Each structure stands twice: as structure tokens, then as C-alpha cells.
């Protein structure tokens, strides 16, 4: 086979192999690729597996057509590529072996010799001229062993990529590239995403027209497609929309739960549900799917106060390969002491950026109404985005979307001529930068609105994540018309140049603002202001509304109560119906900020 005018394919197909690397099913066999670059000097790129010595040497002799090779470039020392180095050296005694220092050490370990008298040791950035063709060596440690080098031929713009861009399957079988390349990648190279990313960065600086891997086909068209997939895989991104359910089942009850969940996921608009029985299906395929999709459900039984062995093996495969950036749901089954969910979660503890669903399904032997309801809840949770994406299932009037706007939380201070005042505000944003203008929206019911409208000045104190709930109670839940919010600090108040107070703690910055324009927004007034003074007091992060809700606001005491709870301050309204005009007596927010107690 000809790759370019000067580059010939001399590899072999292996259909006799049972398990690649002693563990991977390869129903369509395996290819061990090797190439020859014909120039003034001739370079052979890698050898092949030990079972194909003569076939490979024949292929090589045919391609050489009577000439002798000058170099054998050894990019990778795993035996599927290196097994015939000694045979090559014997057949071509004048040829030089070209490889990395680590590879020569491995040759000594494998063959008892490291070719001291006939070798060239190369490292990142080294080149070897063949005449027209210059080989540029690129270090690719851990893609897939530490000694690996890749080679770029700048004449034909070919990257010899070692195991990179390889796949399972012999070259005389037609099959989809991505499926078997993905299974190969996550099975064999998956742990080394960071190293693959490093090589991709180097590759981005090269003009590559053809990729010649050590397994799988030569890639010469639409290289962006392959590079993009490698980028997604090695950065642990989401390649396809959908959900994987990986399960084990002893007597079929967990399987029933999985089938029910799969049905519900499809009904909820999940574009692809990939179900895998870890005891019976191909483990490498299951691992590949776990990395391919963004969401996974693990379902298993409690077994010997642990989890079923195939699930343990599966999770070990994921953890070993740096599983991350996924949403994970758990289903556990146990007849007397279910422990599976806890065990699975603890096994995944070291994985980065996993989000566990709020719902965990607990099955006590067989499905019942309670566990079926949990499956419904899990399906709803996992399909929230799919439902909202589709016209048919989306709630297009879900005004809780407004809560997703990112807000900071601020104490706005002012002075009515008699005393200092402050209130909590979240509706502040910079609206222009030249000049710097800041818009501040304040409810007209608040005394501060009245004061600022008259005085035309305020200080915006940016709360940091250190601020405790007491700050919100002090400035948020009472009116400055009736109380002096600074009475406890009278002797230690700090003031900016405009004479207004700025907070001595719990803020990371403040700005003094002068009102330029006022916009009447019915319930609120918007002050458009210029900045007259600005100071930064700490590097602590700004308190956001989301942070406040999750970390600062005490959990409302709703246990055993029926009614509505204020999302701002946690006030509980007990009763069947919340009046539309209800105003929270604590924080003064309206009915829209209440939600039913569930």
C-alpha cells in the first residue's frame, strides 16, 4: 500500500489474536502498522508483533525493491511494535536504530542489548535528514508508554503518531473508525489525557496532511474530525448527548429497575440511553460509553457488605482512567442492609468534578411504589435539560429562570442627615466603562430609596463570602427609618471622602457613587451613577446570591410544617394558600419569592 509517493505501508493484519494486550476483545482482529520512507536514505518506521516476523520482512523486502534500509525508527517499545527489532537488526546489519533514550533502556530489558555500536538517540526537537525528507522527533511520553516518540515528516507533511489515533480492528475489515478508536483510546491511553493534550498542542503547530498510526487506518481526509475527537476524549469532555446506565443484577430485580429507568429517560426526551450489563457485555465498551456521555447511572446490588464484583471492576476502570466532569446517579439494591450506593460513591470520591444527583434510588429486594417514585424523580432530574430543550416538553414560562441571573450581594450605605443607613441590594451592575457608570435599583418601599433620591450619593459595599447571616439580618430585614443599623459601631465607623460609611469588615471593595440620572420603574427606582471613589480591601471572592442561598442562609425549619417558605430569608408561612399580595414580615420580599414546602 502506498501512503505517498515515497512512503509505503508494510504492516500486517492479525486475525488469529484472541485478546489484544491480554484483555481486549478484538472481533475484527488487529493491525500492526509499519511504514518505509524511501529517499536517499531509507527509514523504516517500527516493526510488528512477534507472530508476523516473516510476513513483515517480506512486505519490507518488497517495498525496498532490492535496496537496504539505513534506519529503523523505534517510536514505541510495546511488543506489538517492537518484537522484531532484533530480527530487523540481523537482516540489515548496516542499519542504525533510531529511538529515545528510554526506549534503548527498554531494549536492553527486552532483548539484552541496546545497540550501542549502531544507534542514534533522539529527543524532542531533534531531526534526521533522509535527503528530501526530514524527520522531526516529537516526545510523546505516556502516549502510551514513557519512551514514546512521534515523528513528523515535514516533506510529505505526515505525522507518524505511534499509538495515537490508533484503533482496534484489522485493515482488511471495513468498520466505523470512531467506535473502535474510542474503545481503544479509553481502554489503552485513557488515563493519560493530560499527556495527549500536550501532544495535540505540539501537533497544532505542524502542517499535518496525513496521520500514520501504529494501529488502524492511515488518516488522510477530514483530519479535523479525528483531531476534534481526540481533543474531546483527552480533555474528558462530553462527546455525545445521552445517558449511560451500567448495571449488575443477580436475580433480575435491579435489571427491572434499570429497564424502567431507561423507559422513563426516553419518555423524558433523552436522545440516547446506552444500557450495559457489566457481567455480560464488553467491559471496554462500557468504559468507552462512560467517558463518551455526560451522565451515567450506576445500578448494583449490595454483596458481601460491598458491591457486586463486576461493578467494582467497572468503577476501578473509571477511577484508574481519571473519570471526571460527569453527572452520576446511583441505584442500589439490598435485601437487608443496602450499602451499594455508599460504596459506589466512596469509590468515586477521588474523581474530579462529579455531580451526584439529589435522588438515589433504594430498592429493598424488588421494586415497590416508593422505589418507582424515586426512579421517576431520578429520570426527571437527569432529563431536566432535555425536557427544556424540546418545544413539546419545555415549560416556556418558567420564571425561575430569572434566579439563574448571577447576582452579587451588596450593602448600600447612605445618610439622611441624622444617621447612617444601609440596606442589602442585589441589583447592581456596571453599565458603561467610559466613563464608569453603575446602575443601582432599589425598591421604593425602602427608606434608603427615599434618602438617596434626596441626597444623590451612596456607597456600594461589595460583600465577600466571609459575610455571616447576621449581616443580612442587620441590613436586610429591618428599616433604617426605625432603627439605627450602625448603633453598635458608632465609635469605630469608617468614612469615605463623600462622608458616608463603608463597612469595616466582610467586604472586598466599596465604591462611592454620585447619582447622574434617575429612572422610575414603578415599584423600584434605578439610580445611574458615576464612581467618585473606589477601594479594594481584600482578595476574597464576592458573595453571590447563589453562594448566600447555599452556604450562608440557615436552612428554614420546615420539618412537619405545611405552607410556604421565603427563599430569601427562610420565613415560613403556614397555610394552604399564600395570598398573592403577601409580603414577608422578615425581609419584605413578596409572594413571588416564596415556594411551597415540599
Nearest to ligand FEO of 148, 203 (CB atom) = 148
Shortest spacing between CB 554 and ligand FEO, in angstroms: 56
Shortest spacing between CB 47 and ligand FEO, in angstroms: 12
Nearest to ligand FEO of 73, 344 (CB atom) = 73
Sign of the CA dihedral 230, 231, 236, 237? negative
Query: Do strands 524-536 and 19-20 pair parallel, antiparallel, or not at all (unpaired)?
Result: unpaired
Is the separation of the CB atoms in 227 and 186 below 8 Å?
Answer: no
Shortest spacing between CB 95 and ligand FEO, in angstroms: 22
Q: What is each CA distance from 193 to 76, 100, 140, 285, in whole angstroms?
A: 18, 22, 12, 18
> Nearest to residue 212, comparing CAs of 154, 151, 168, 170?
151
Nearest to ligand FEO of 153, 163 (CB atom) = 163
Nearest to ligand FEO of 78, 180 (CB atom) = 78
Residues 526-540: b if buried by 16+ CB within 10 A, e if exposed: bbbbeeeeeeebeeb
What are the grid coordinates assigned to 222, written together?
A: 477530514
Shortest spacing between CB 377 and ligand FEO, in angstroms: 44
What are the grid coordinates assigned to 519, written together?
A: 429612572
Q: What is the C-alpha R_g of the chain?
A: 33
Where does residue 397 rank: exposed (0-12), middle (13-18), buried (19+ CB within 10 A)? exposed
Q: Which residues contact 293 (CB under 8 A, 6 or more apart)?
A: 238, 239, 240, 241, 242, 243, 244, 272, 274
Shortest spacing between CB 46 and ligand FEO, in angstroms: 9
Shortest spacing between CB 232 and ligand FEO, in angstroms: 21
User: Could you give the CA distance from residue 528 to residue 430 in angstroms, rounded to a whole number?
Assistant: 9
Q: Which residues contact 57 (CB under 8 A, 6 or more apart)?
A: 84, 87, 88, 91
Residues that bind ligand FEO (CB under 6 A): 76, 78, 80-81, 144, 163, 214-215
Shortest spacing between CB 61 and ligand FEO, in angstroms: 24
Nearest to ligand FEO of 83, 383 (CB atom) = 83
Q: Which residues contact 570 (CB under 8 A, 6 or more apart)?
A: 553, 554, 555, 556, 557
Nearest to ligand FEO of 147, 332 (CB atom) = 147
Nearest to ligand FEO of 212, 297 (CB atom) = 212
What are the grid coordinates assigned to 89, written together?
A: 537488526
Shortest spacing between CB 90 and ligand FEO, in angstroms: 23
Shortest spacing between CB 557 and ligand FEO, in angstroms: 60
Query: Do strands 119-121 and 96-99 pair parallel, antiparallel, or not at all (unpaired)?
Result: parallel
Nearest to ligand FEO of 97, 214 (CB atom) = 214
Beta strand extents in 87-133 (DSSP E only): 96-99, 119-121, 127-129
Nearest to ligand FEO of 214, 258 (CB atom) = 214
Q: Which residues contact 386 (CB under 8 A, 6 or more apart)?
A: 241, 268, 269, 270, 271, 393
Residues 509, 515, 519, 524, Cα dihedral to 10°: 50
DSSP reduced 3-state for 473: helix
Sign of the CA dihedral 218, 223, 225, 231? positive
Nearest to ligand FEO of 76, 449 (CB atom) = 76
Shortest spacing between CB 4 and ligand FEO, in angstroms: 23
Beta strand extents in 474-597 (DSSP E only): 494-495, 501-502, 507-521, 524-536, 563-566, 572-574, 594-596
DSSP reduced 3-state for 525: strand
Nearest to ligand FEO of 218, 568 (CB atom) = 218
User: Could you give the CA distance from residue 75 to residue 60 in angstroms, rounded to a whole number?
Assistant: 18
Nearest to ligand FEO of 14, 80 (CB atom) = 80
Shortest spacing between CB 36 and ligand FEO, in angstroms: 19
- DSSP-assigned states of every residue in 342-368: HHHHHHTTTSTTEEEEEEEEEEBSB--
Shortest spacing between CB 144 and ligand FEO, in angstroms: 4
Nearest to ligand FEO of 213, 525 (CB atom) = 213
Nearest to ligand FEO of 215, 589 (CB atom) = 215
Shortest spacing between CB 110 and ligand FEO, in angstroms: 13
Shortest spacing between CB 76 and ligand FEO, in angstroms: 6
User: Could you give the CA distance from residue 428 to residue 449 in angstroms, rounded to a whole number?
Assistant: 14
Query: Which residue is it, cell 517480506?
Result: 58
Residue nearest ligand FEO, Cβ-based: 78
Amino acid at each position: 500500500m502506498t501512503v505517498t509517493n515515497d512512503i509505503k505501508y508494510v504492516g500486517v493484519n492479525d486475525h488469529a489474536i484472541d485478546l489484544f494486550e491480554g484483555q481486549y476483545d478484538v472481533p475484527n482482529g488487529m493491525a500492526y502498522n509499519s511504514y518505509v520512507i524511501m529517499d536517499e536514505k531509507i527509514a523504516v518506521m517500527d516493526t510488528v508483533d512477534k507472530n508476523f516476523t516473516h510476513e513483515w520482512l517480506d512486505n519490507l523486502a518488497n517495498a525496498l525493491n532490492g535496496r537496504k534500509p539505513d534506519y529503523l525508527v523505534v517510536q514505541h517499545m510495546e511488543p506489538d511494535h517492537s518484537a522484531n527489532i532484533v530480527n530487523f537488526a540481523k537482516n540489515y546489519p548496516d542499519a542504525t536504530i533510531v529511538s529515545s533514550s528510554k526506549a534503548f533502556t527498554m531494549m536492553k530489558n527486552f532483548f539484552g542489548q541496546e545497540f550501542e555500536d549502531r544507534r542514534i538517540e533522539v529527543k524532542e526537537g531533534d531531526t534526521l535528514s533522509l535527503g528530501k525528507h526530514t524527520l522531526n522527533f516529537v516526545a510523546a511520553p505516556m502516549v502510551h508508554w514513557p519512551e514514546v516518540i512521534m515523528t513528523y515528516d515535514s516533506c510529505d507533511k505526515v505525522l507518524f503518531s505511534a499509538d495515537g489515533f490508533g484503533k482496534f480492528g484489522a485493515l482488511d475489515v471495513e468498520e466505523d473508525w470512531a467506535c473502535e478508536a474510542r474503545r481503544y483510546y479509553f481502554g489503552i491511553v485513557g488515563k493519560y489525557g493530560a499527556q495527549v493534550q500536550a501532544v495535540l498542542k505540539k501537533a497544532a503547530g505542524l502542517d499535518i496532511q496525513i496521520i500514520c498510526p501504529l494501529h488502524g487506518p492511515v488518516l488522510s481526509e477530514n483530519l479535523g474530525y479525528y483531531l476534534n475527537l481526540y481533543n474531546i476524549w483527552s480533555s474528558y469532555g462530553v462527546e455525545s448527548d445521552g445517558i449511560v446506565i451500567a448495571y449488575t443484577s443477580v436475580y433480575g430485580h435491579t435489571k427491572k429497575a434499570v429497564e424502567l429507568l431507561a423507559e422513563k429517560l426516553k419518555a423524558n426526551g433523552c436522545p440516547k440511553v446506552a444500557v450495559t450489563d457489566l457481567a455480560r457485555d464488553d467491559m471496554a465498551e462500557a468504559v468507552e460509553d462512560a467517558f463518551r456521555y455526560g451522565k451515567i447511572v450506576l445500578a448494583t446490588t449490595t454483596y458481601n457488605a460491598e458491591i457486586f464484583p463486576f461493578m467494582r471492576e467497572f468503577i476501578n476502570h473509571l477511577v484508574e482512567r481519571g473519570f471526571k466532569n460527569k453527572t452520576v446517579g446511583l441505584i442500589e439494591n439490598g435485601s437487608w442492609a443496602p450499602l451499594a450506593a455508599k460504596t459506589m460513591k466512596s469509590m468515586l470520591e477521588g474523581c474530579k468534578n462529579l455531580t451526584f444527583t439529589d435522588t438515589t434510588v433504594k430498592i429493598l429486594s424488588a421494586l415497590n411504589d416508593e422505589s418507582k417514585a424515586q426512579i421517576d424523580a431520578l429520570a426527571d432530574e437527569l432529563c431536566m435539560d432535555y425536557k427544556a430543550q424540546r418545544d413539546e416538553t419545555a415549560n416556556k414560562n418558567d420564571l425561575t429562570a430569572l434566579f439563574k441571573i448571577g447576582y452579587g450581594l451588596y450593602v448600600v450605605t447612605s445618610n439622611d442627615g441624622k444617621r447612617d443607613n444601609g440596606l442589602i441590594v442585589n441589583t447592581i451592575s456596571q453599565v458603561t466603562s467610559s466613563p464608569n457608570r453603575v446602575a443601582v435599583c432599589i425598591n421604593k418601599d425602602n427608606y434608603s430609596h427615599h434618602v438617596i433620591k434626596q441626597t444623590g450619593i451612596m456607597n456600594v459595599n461589595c460583600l465577600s463570602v466571609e459575610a455571616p447571616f447576621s449581616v443580612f439580618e442587620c441590613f436586610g430585614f429591618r428599616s433604617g427609618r426605625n432603627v439605627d443599623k450602625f448603633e453598635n459601631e458608632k465609635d469605630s465607623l469608617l468614612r469615605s471622602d463623600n462622608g458616608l460609611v463603608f463597612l469595616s469588615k466582610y467586604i472586598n471593595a466599596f465604591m462611592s457613587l454620585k447619582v447622574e440620572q434617575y429612572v422610575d420603574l414603578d415599584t423600584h427606582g434605578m439610580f445611574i451613577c458615576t464612581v467618585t471613589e473606589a477601594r479594594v480591601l481584600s482578595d476574597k471572592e464576592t458573595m453571590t446570591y447563589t453562594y448566600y442561598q447555599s452556604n450562608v442562609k440557615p436552612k428554614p425549619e420546615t420539618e412537619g410544617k405545611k405552607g410556604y417558605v421565603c427563599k430569601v430569608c427562610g420565613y415560613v408561612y403556614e397555610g394552604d394558600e399564600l395570598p398573592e399580595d403577601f409580603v414577608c414580615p422578615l425581609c419584605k420580599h413578596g409572594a413571588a419569592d416564596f415556594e411551597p414546602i415540599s
